[in-house]
Structure 1
Amino acid sequence: MEHMIDLSGISWQQDQKTILHHVSWQVKRGEHWAVLGLNGSGKTTILNIINGYIWPSKGSVSVLGHPFGTVDLRELRKSIGWVSSSFQERMHYNDLTDYVVISGKHASIGLYEKPLEEDIERAHQLMRELGCGHLIGGRYRTCSQGEKQKLLIARALMASPKLLILDEACNGLDFISREALLASISELAAKPDAPTLLFVTHHTEEIPPIFTHTLLVRRGTVFASGLTREMFTSQTLSAFFEMQVDVLWQKERAWLSVK
């Protein structure tokens, strides 16, 4: 499988309004990508198309080597994990943290049967690997927002996805929680058996160096795509944001300031 994601000439219209216009994007096996864009730029629409929740008005889509129109999208979604801060409130407030993670195997909200011992062991392993082993046996309601994000990532990994989408994963986190989460994501992405990761954000400083490629999305189009180091220059990002910015690279992350 050469391309994990292959979007070719994608357009999508709603209520006679064009949301996406001629979007083309290829993600190869072994690449981890950041997707950067301001609110309303079309990032979430692209994700919905990748997951098969909406169908493009024009263009072709292939995900995990399966061209859309030739694959059962319900089955395909079992190989895609999608984690968003908005998912936090969908979990059952009083559930055990272990059960929140295990529910990812069944793509359900909550567990409705006694979990297998092997599933419990895997959930605990994932929680430890993501730096939240101390939450084992606790209640979801007592977790901080950052801890809930780690649990949701562990939940997505329970199904052993080939593609993992982290959608605004740092939204609402304080500085310490954000850095702890980014460290866990970087460790996950560096594993030899890691899924292909997409990290969706509108803050360059949130993007760890493990995301070597970046897609810049603006007003429903691809502004540019390629190596992160080449995308995150003062010249390119000034044109992208349509205002003069300076880029300072610090510990392999790009920090912006307005000129």
Structure 2
Amino acid sequence: MNYVIEIEGVSWRRGELQLLRDVNWQVRQGEHWALLGLNGSGKTTLLNMINGYYWPTTGKISVLNHRFGEVDLRELRQSIGWVSSSLQEKLYATDKTQHVVISGKFATIGLYDKPAEEDYFRARAFMRTLGCTHLWDRDYRTCSQGEKQKLLIARALMADPQILILDEPCNGLDLFSRERLLDSIHDLTLQPNTPTLIYVTHHTEEILTVFSHTLLLRRGEVFRQGDTVQVMNSATLSSFFEAPVTVECHDRRYYVRLSGKE
């Protein structure tokens, strides 16, 4: 079986804290996954594991058919794009947007190499896919948070990653900015040679239909995983959230409300 990510019996302990416990997760080629969990559930710890920044206390990890311990993790990370809102503040405010995007090819904060014409062509193509070509030649600091997230995704794509992790990309966005960003993510998945997407969130309504599979993570343990349509139901999520909830599906998006609440 050709797995993009294969995690077998992984646990991770830091001092007396058990942050991951016996995690098993396989992502196959061609699948896009949502990773759903509340704050403190272990999502970021698991992402650090996939990127090789944390080493498992127990268990085995393989990414892109490379088993940890048998691969140079620095080289492996070049095939993984990790988009997090925390990166927004690290970029230079006065850089032009296209240079922010192109810098992803070189994995640098700021652009120090002279871009080739092809780099500009690819940057524009990715910005077009994400619906932000109107930002071309703007100062990065003049962009909204939602626009910056689109630029960060385009930046990650410049490195031709095989895995693209979107780590709570809608965090802090208003309703309209969120929907525009989600539309862009949907359009991205329709492009040829799209990398495997891992979409990390604690909001069920952000899980688009393109995320065919969902993993539920609670207190460092896998609570449930499988086809999204089979996971996102009232019984499963009531047990997962440890509170009675009702799941309503509108336009193939999942909305959760506390049972008995209008």
- Structure 2 counterpart of 1:95: 95
- Structure 2 counterpart of 1:227: 227
Matched, 1:62 2:65: no
Q: In structure 1, how many angstroms separate the alpha carbons of the residues matched to 2:228 and 2:192?
A: 21
SS at match of 1:194: coil
Matches within 5 A, 1:18-33: 18-33=18-33
- Paired amino acid for 2:63: V
- Structure 2 counterpart of 1:136: 136
SS at match of 1:105: helix
- Structure 1 counterpart of 2:218: 218
> After TM superposition, what 4+ stretches of structure 1 lie above 4 angstroms from structure 2?
none
SS at match of 2:77: helix
SS at match of 2:78: helix
Query: Matched residue pairs, number?
Result: 259
- Paired amino acid for 1:17: L
Give the drift of 1:191: 2.2
Q: In structure 2, how many angstroms separate the alpha carbons of the residues matched to 1:221 and 1:28?
A: 20
Q: In structure 2, how many angstroms separate the alpha carbons of the residues matched to 1:110 and 1:209?
A: 35
Q: In structure 2, how many angstroms separate the alpha carbons of the residues matched to 1:88 and 1:211?
A: 25
- Paired amino acid for 1:74: R
- Paired amino acid for 2:127: M
Give the drift of 1:190: 2.2
SS at match of 1:191: coil
Unmatched segments (≥5 aa) in structure 1? none
- Structure 1 counterpart of 2:183: 183
- Paired amino acid for 1:61: I
- Paired amino acid for 2:195: P
Matched, 1:119 2:119: yes
Q: In structure 2, how many angstroms separate the alpha carbons of the residues matched to 1:158 and 1:192?
A: 15
- Structure 2 counterpart of 1:192: 192
- Paired amino acid for 1:4: V
- Paired amino acid for 2:54: I
Q: In structure 2, how many angstroms separate the alpha carbons of the residues matched to 1:159 and 1:134?
A: 22
- Structure 1 counterpart of 2:237: 237
Matches within 5 A, 1:4-83: 4-83=4-83
- TM-score, normalised via structure 1 length: 0.99
Q: In structure 2, how many angstroms separate the alpha carbons of the residues matched to 1:19 and 1:190?
A: 35
Identity across the alignment (%): 61
Q: In structure 2, how many angstroms separate the alpha carbons of the residues matched to 1:34 and 1:189?
A: 13
**Root-mean-square deviation (Å):** 0.8
SS at match of 2:223: strand
Q: Would the aligned equivalents of 1:190 and 1:210 in 2 still touch at CA under 8 Å? A: no
Give the drift of 1:207: 1.0
